[in-house]
Structure 1
Amino acid sequence: MNANVPLMQTPSRAPVSAVVPCYRCTDTVGDAVASIAAQTLPPAEVLLVDDCSGDGTLETLHSLARAYPAGWIKVVALPVNSGPSRARNAGWEQATQEYVAFLDSDDSWAPRKLELQVKALLADPQIALISHRIRVRSRGLEPESLRKPIRTTIVGRRRLLLNNPFSTPSVVLRRDLPFRFNEKFRLVEDYLLWAQIAHSGYRCAKINQVLAYLHKPAFGAGGLSGDLDAMHRAGREVGNELQRMGLVSARERMFTRSVGKIRRARRHLVLWLRRLQSGDQLSP
């Protein structure tokens, strides 16, 4: 990236393409797009990618595009259902801005997300990926207040050996990075991409503020993330893939396997407690 090129193209827009993969999300995508439009520094464009939903989703996306300023929302329709990796890559391919941000169709952004991330990128143009904290909570609540001081911390590659510090709706990255989501993975595909970026020597950062919200638990709540064991199997495959690429050493891979086993046991315990609290019937 040329540091001499002005980051901001206009005073009212961020040089960001917001990519939203969409699959049978007629009930939630409107709120997701509204949270993008409510940014204090809105992105220059929004790409809504329909992953061949086969219901009324595509019509809903075109309706949303008409409800906002002409040309701001672009609808991309995939011919076959291929999963979130392909949908995000398709949006990334058509993005025109210097940076790409990701938001799932059932999540939302806090209003100052892009403002703070662009400010951090201006302060350190060498950052290739920047994220922030996220919160799991119900819909319809007011955004949390910022907690000062606002800090941006560099995240080293070794941090990613422990777990995934970058939730997908928190990430803004450079459009010109020579990586993409691996379309062979339908689970943990985001972690594989972030790890490729960090382990390849690119500068990654994280802001210490909650600037996005997940409206269902990160695991054990249905959908692709609902199968906890499948997620951990995918995590092992990601670790093996990083080792095959030469980005993680054999010793580091042994360490990540050990951490993964501990994390799996902890998540099963959390899921068991969640079901107990909700009154679900537990098997012996």
Structure 2
Amino acid sequence: MQVIVILLDSWRSSAEAAALALLHLSWSPQARVLLVGQGDVPSDLAAACDGRTMERVTAPLHAMPGRRLPDTRTSGDSPQLGWSLAVMERLLGLHAQQRLCWVELPSLGALAYALLQERDLLEAFDGTRLLLRFDGLTAIQAMRLARGVSPADLLTMDMERACLEHCDGVLMDSAAMAAAVAGVLSTGDQPVRWQVARPLSVQAQSAAVAGPQGLVCVATETGPLRQALRAICGYLGTVPDAPATVTLVCEQGVLQEVLAVVPETLRHRFVIRAPSVLQGPPTRVILADGWSAGAARARALLARGHALLANAANPAYDPAQGWEHGQTLLRYDGAAELCAILQTSADWRPRYRLDVLPGTEALPRVVGSLGPATVSVIVPCFNMGRWLPQTLASIKRFSWQWLDVIVVDDGSTDAHTRQVLAQLESEPAGKVRVVRLPFNQGLSAARNAGLAAAQGEFILSLDADDLVSPEFVQLAVQALQRCSGYDFVVPRAVYFADQDTAVDLEALPLLQCIAFVGSAFESGVLANRFSTATCLARTRVLRTLGYDENLRSYEDWQLYRRALQQGSRFLVSNDIHFYYRQRPDSMIHDPAMRARHSRLYAEMTSMPALQCQPLAVPANLLSVIVAPAAPDGSAGGILLSGVIEVLEELAHFRRSRFWQIAHRLWIFLRKFRR
């Protein structure tokens, strides 16, 4: 079975995304179609899918029988994670009915994210090729449309990047487009790592004929549209027989931002029309955008005989793919050049159209072999004797039997803790090793001491008051054995109340989930979106990095950022496997944390700067910092989410009947006193 996934929002909002999907549908007439999104199916999409088996996903997934998935309504995750989980569930059902040969998903929206994590961690979709049809990225959309982004957008950007790097191949229009996208995504010295498959472009004799000398301008970007309008106005003012009316295919809001460049005396000659106007007779069409996800729409216009005038800055029109100046289109660079081309191209028609065929296959996925491997479980402990036995009991329930458990006593002074540690030392050798530090040196030093004593190929660092599911270590070890290019496996995490003492994790009442995406290139600068201190990693990688003992907090956040900058890659489980105890004195839940956050963040970032290690800041992140679209609502509550919550509660209270009665009583009493 073959499945092509189409995101309805992209189809409705992006003509290029729709054209790319139509092209890929034409290549695979037997493929099923999975439509994702709410609302009616557009008529043109319904017509394109006529005769095919169609599936629908109409709501994000928040729960799944037999699974502990994060509820994206409360977890602080990107809303796209819920849609990604829903796509995964539907495809798992189809795969159970009949083996899926390949699945093609769009790049915009990260619908493949949960699917790819499921394959890497649980061996789902074994033998199925998972491909991405490149139709854009949230990061690029924000840049080219000059749109502000939110913290949720940053999470989506990181999910989309993970999809590009985890999939079996990215289907892109051209090498120039692939290079342009790689340039946007590359951070510091770390390039994007992906496999790109390109279509084969073939020139054929054009059907273009002489026709009405109309003029249409197509644009979604304000800057390029402004330049095009200036050029068109210059053309209308200097050529007497120029078209009486210029048709604009753009959003009304985009036009309003640039309309000031059109003189009042010429505005009556511009009209906005729907994209369907391009289905009419051949005419000159200005493709003004400086960037587009592909050239499928341009190829369709060329096939209809339109004469195309394209922005030279757009990498989609790659000469290597047949887009030759003077043969298939006319390129312009800036308003002056476009005006000159308009004055001389009234009778120009393209000589060729461009037909495309499916390109070269991506390289097959290489999977490593499984086998026994020792995991060193490092448990730092400073006066945590109350909770340590419960944590060790959860370790005994691990399904992975090759364990090297190390408890690092960080100079505990509590009598009960010292008694618990002494009892551990008296147990038979081989069960639990106790490493003692002569005095309290801090969490980072304790973890580094555990790293030095570790004998395993992999490391699991686990705080003395937290819990991990029995199956996590096994699935994480086997995932890293299969995927040799990855170094960390991050468990989805959730808080549980301090008073809960049940060892059975299924019986624990869960509080709020925590949003993690692993390779958090964008979102990981504002908040720790990599992992908690607990994840499974390769020992050699952790020893190379080490924990910074100068930090009093955020040592794990800083370590993961350094890991990302040196090229490490992360896998993230879809299911919840890590349980973070919410204690009243826990640093992350201390009310004073809001006041301390700026100092702790400065400590984390200042030392690398002093050591001439520049901090790579993605371009979209500056928008969130300088001109945020909305206050942060992070699960950690570190920034403004608490303030927003209080204001919302106050507004709700003021709308209540109780408040109205109390307010009237207060007014009456005030008058009575007077």
- Is the TM-score greater than 0.5? yes
Quick one: distance in 1 between partners of 2:407 and 2:532? 16
Q: Does 1:222 align with 2:585?
A: yes
SS in 1 for 2:527: coil
Shift of residue 96 of structure 1? 1.0
- Please point out which of 632, 636, 640 is paired with 1:266: 640
Aligned to 1:49: 408
- Please point out which of 25, 28, 49 is paired with 2:384: 25
Shift of residue 215 of structure 1? 1.6
Aligned to 1:248: 616
- Please point out which of 187, 191, 196 is paired with 2:562: 196
Q: Identity, % of aligned pairs?
A: 26
Change (3 A) 1:30 1:154: closer
- Please point out which of 473, 481, 501 is paired with 1:140: 501
Shift of residue 158 of structure 1? 3.0
Unaligned runs of 5+ in 1: 146-152, 277-284
Quick one: distance in 1 between partners of 2:563 and 2:547? 11
TM-align CA RMSD:
3.2
Shift of residue 64 of structure 1? 2.7
Aligned to 2:475: 116
Aligned to 1:63: 423
SS in 1 for 2:540: coil
Shift of residue 58 of structure 1? 3.3
Shift of residue 269 of structure 1? 3.6
SS in 2 for 1:164: coil
Aligned to 2:314: none
- Deviations 1:163-197, CA, capped at 9 Å, x for gaps: 21234353111111211110000111110001100
Matches within 5 A, 1:10-21: 14-21=373-380
Aligned residues of 1:8 and 1:15 also touching (Cα < 8 A): no
Aligned residues of 2:368 and 2:483 also touching (Cα < 8 A): no
- Deviations 1:20-79, CA, capped at 9 Å, x for gaps: 110111110000111111111145211101111122323312313444x52231101111
SS in 2 for 1:47: strand
Aligned to 2:15: none
Aligned to 1:130: 489
- Please point out which of 558, 571, 583 is paired with 1:205: 571
Shift of residue 128 of structure 1? 1.0
Quick one: distance in 2 between partners of 1:60 and 1:114? 25
Aligned residues of 1:32 and 1:107 also touching (Cα < 8 A): yes
Shift of residue 241 of structure 1? 4.1
Q: Does 1:165 align with 2:533?
A: no
Quick one: distance in 1 between partners of 2:367 and 2:449? 29
Quick one: distance in 2 between partners of 1:154 and 1:107? 20
Structure showing greater relative contact order (alpha-carbon pairs closer than 8 Å, 6 or more residues apart): 1
Quick one: distance in 2 between partners of 1:61 and 1:6? 38
Change (3 A) 1:171 1:271: farther
Quick one: distance in 2 between partners of 1:188 and 1:65? 31
Q: Does 1:238 align with 2:604?
A: yes
In structure 2, give the amino acid aligned to 1:75: V
- Deviations 1:98-143, CA, capped at 9 Å, x for gaps: 1111111111111111011112112202211111111111323432
Q: Does 1:8 align with 2:374?
A: no
Quick one: distance in 2 between partners of 1:62 and 1:108? 22
Quick one: distance in 2 between partners of 1:80 and 1:117? 34
Aligned residues of 1:17 and 1:96 also touching (Cα < 8 A): yes
Aligned length: 256
Unaligned runs of 5+ in 2: 1-365, 508-516, 651-674
- Deviations 1:79-111, CA, capped at 9 Å, x for gaps: 121110111111011111111111111111111
Quick one: distance in 1 between partners of 2:418 and 2:644? 36
Change (3 A) 1:267 1:78: farther
Aligned residues of 2:369 and 2:482 also touching (Cα < 8 A): no
SS in 1 for 2:435: strand
Matches within 5 A, 1:79-94: 79-94=438-453
Aligned to 1:282: none
